[in-house]
Structure 1
Amino acid sequence: MGERTSGVYMPEDELEDLPGVGPATADKLIDTGYESYQSIAVASPGELSNTADIGSSTASDIINAAREAADVGGFETGAAVLERREQIGKLSWQIDEVDELLGGGVETQSITEVYGEFGAGKSQVTHQLAVNVQLPREHGGLAGGAIFVDTEDTFRPERIDDMVRGLDDEILEAELERREIEGTPNSDEALAELTEAFLDRIHVAKAFNSNHQILLAEKAKELAGEHEESEWPIRLVCVDSLTAHFRAEYVGRGELAERQQKLNKHLHDLMRIGDLYNTSILVTNQVASNPDSYFGDPTQPIGGNILGHTSTFRIYLRKSKGDKRIVRLVDAPNLADGEAVMRVQDAGLKPE
């Protein structure tokens, strides 16, 4: 399937170097997205056993050999962790106050959860960051493409058009030149062509139910692998919304355990994309009202402790007067809680 031995893809005969992997098993592994030692190394024996139709003991041997070959799973020094963290990118919101709150922007290799009530602007954030991620690093982007998993029919190409046109003139001029489009920021024809170029770098899939949503996360991993060495690597995966299908399909306490188990697997599939391909994972989440809350805001995010522990950054969006929105950082491993203000306008997310 692939021709590169570094990164994601490798020839099938290299997979066959692993104990218990013959030509047929190598084909199955590649067909199901296990195209590298690293992707096999971070799999569980159960996953590998089911997808490749092999025994759990054989799957464990394959995983252990892949871990040794890929040099993962061992301890490393704090200095090595620091060096690896220096590869992490920061995706700007193009709003100084929000970027400062988030320590520079949305991190790669992390899950950022944005939750809030209906109309708070969650989908506006996903659209804006799908535009911003394509900008070069000097303009706050990550010079990459985006994957958008749409579970509530929220993706609107027209909104991308609004937000592209709403970029600063300096950025628009630079993008027109970078994408070799003739014209100026005042030219409707040039801006229409530029919008189409932005849309070409956003890969959208609509999820019809929770099982389909989980499958799309696996497909997103394959797509990120295919683009890893391209001019436009995938640098952002949006899921809008993460919990809608799970909430609708698993109703009542009797189904809570199964819901949380599937949601946990889904989150770890997404996290794997972030780790393997240095990608930002942005998920939106719905809220429910807590009637027992007598003080403060009674809204709580859906997903319970599973989502709370898996999300690296949790952001609460709250409506304010008019087009104002309060962006509150609720949880982050290395940042203080705090708030910032932004506006949701026709031209996108803007400073107060």
Structure 2
Amino acid sequence: MAELTDLKGVGRSTAEELTDSGYSTVKSVATATPPELSGAVSMGEGKAGKLIRRAQEAAEDLGFELGTELMERRGEVERIPTGSDGLDEMLGGGVETQCITEFYGEFRTGKTQLSHQLSVNAQTLDGEEGRTPHVVYIDTEHTFRPERIEKMAEAVEIEPDRALQNIHVARASTTDHQMLLAEKTSEIADEEEVKLVVVDGLMSNFRTEYVGRGALAERQQKLGKHLNGLHDLAEDHNLAVFVTNHVQSDPNSFFGDPTKPIGGHVLGHSATVRVYLRKSKKESRKARLVDHPGLPPDSVKFKITEEGVRD
């Protein structure tokens, strides 16, 4: 596989600058645009364009592949149980690897609880050579609670300290930091068998930094790049990407539920699976499968208990 330093004109210092800016692979350079690349590193757009073309010639995974090859890769898909049999059945067995699954809803609908539960349950999968799978948790809203992990781990008979040792947690303070953490996840996945990447509050930093219609185009372009990186991560390392998202009220909706997820069409088209969470009676929550490439719309109820997510 080609390295950055194999590209003509890229020395060690330039490669380090590219890596620090989030362009750590030949493929990431090949799929960039000249304005993006020149803005990230110290080079003009003309030079950036030439570097991109060289990267496109050197990249080995930018072309077509046979349907049989895709089918073979699909055979490696694993599913992480949610803790609720009903929710798992609705999702076709659990949260799939090799794709992005989005759960969205108002506050206190169980999004972060599911993020914690999946972080524990991912460790129950069979790892290669008997190793326990690891989890990367990108926290944008300061909601990760290690004591909650301990409770959930005990409930599924995993030693609490061991469960926490297998979760790599980082708090993303800006969109650039969030995207950099996603890039750094590849390095962890090269060292450990990562089965789950959680981005709890995918749109929080984007929503804070890009305010008003004038900033919408730039926000969506940056969001699209972030999502493409997460898709590459899921496919390259056969891991599940689980993101949570907030909702907003649609003033143009006159019938039915006026709430919709933030992120617009960019997120709507990029998320492989979309599930809408709503509050129900007492501790119950209602999950509605909004979009899935292989399953029809459906809905189930589940509960948030002291032990975690349950039927």
- TM-score of the two chains, using structure 1 as the length reference: 0.78
- The separation in 2 between residues aligned to 1:121 and 1:339, in whole angstroms, is 15
Q: Secondary structure at the match of 2:40?
A: helix
Q: Shift of residue 308 of structure 1? A: 0.8
Q: Shift of residue 286 of structure 1? A: 0.9
**Structure 1 residues 143 and 43: alpha-carbon distance in aligned structure 2, compared to 1, 3 A threshold:** farther
Q: Which moved more, 1:34-43 or 1:313-322?
A: 34-43
* 1:157 equivalent in alignment to 2:146: yes
Gaps of 5+ in 2: none
Matched residues, number: 308
- The separation in 2 between residues aligned to 1:341 and 1:135, in whole angstroms, is 23
Q: Shift of residue 218 of structure 1? A: 1.7
Gaps of 5+ in 1: 1-5, 176-193
Residue matched to 1:265: 225
Q: Shift of residue 215 of structure 1? A: 2.0
Query: What letter is aligned with 2:217?
Result: A
Larger radius of gyration: 1
Identity of aligned residues (%): 46
User: Counterparts of 1:14-29 in structure 2 under 5 Å?
Assistant: 15-29=4-18
- Aligned pair partner of 2:250 in 251, 275, 290: 290
- Aligned pair partner of 1:199 in 129, 154, 164: 164
Query: What letter is aligned with 2:92?
Result: G
Residue matched to 1:332: 292
- TM-score of the two chains, using structure 2 as the length reference: 0.87
* 1:92 equivalent in alignment to 2:76: no
| Matched-pair contact (CA < 8 Å) for 1:342–1:349 | yes
- The separation in 2 between residues aligned to 1:52 and 1:257, in whole angstroms, is 22
Q: Shift of residue 33 of structure 1? A: 4.7
| Matched-pair contact (CA < 8 Å) for 1:134–1:145 | yes
| Matched-pair contact (CA < 8 Å) for 1:46–1:56 | yes
- The separation in 1 between residues aligned to 2:37 and 2:213, in whole angstroms, is 31
- The separation in 2 between residues aligned to 1:42 and 1:36, in whole angstroms, is 10
Query: What letter is aligned with 1:227?
Result: I
- The separation in 2 between residues aligned to 1:331 and 1:53, in whole angstroms, is 42
- The separation in 1 between residues aligned to 2:258 and 2:282, in whole angstroms, is 22
CA-to-partner distance for each residue in 1:9-66, whole Å, 9 max, x for gaps?
x8xxx54332222333233334445444444444444444343433444444444444
| Matched-pair contact (CA < 8 Å) for 1:218–1:269 | no
* 1:278 equivalent in alignment to 2:238: yes
| Matched-pair contact (CA < 8 Å) for 2:175–2:206 | no
**Structure 1 residues 293 and 32: alpha-carbon distance in aligned structure 2, compared to 1, 3 A threshold:** closer
- Aligned pair partner of 2:177 in 192, 207, 215: 215
Q: Secondary structure at the match of 2:123?
A: coil
| Matched-pair contact (CA < 8 Å) for 1:214–1:266 | no
| Matched-pair contact (CA < 8 Å) for 1:114–1:283 | yes
- Aligned pair partner of 1:51 in 22, 40, 57: 40
User: Counterparts of 1:88-237 in structure 2 under 5 Å?
Assistant: 88-137=77-126, 143-167=132-156, 172=157, 175=158, 194-208=159-173, 212-222=174-184, 224-230=185-191, 232-237=192-197
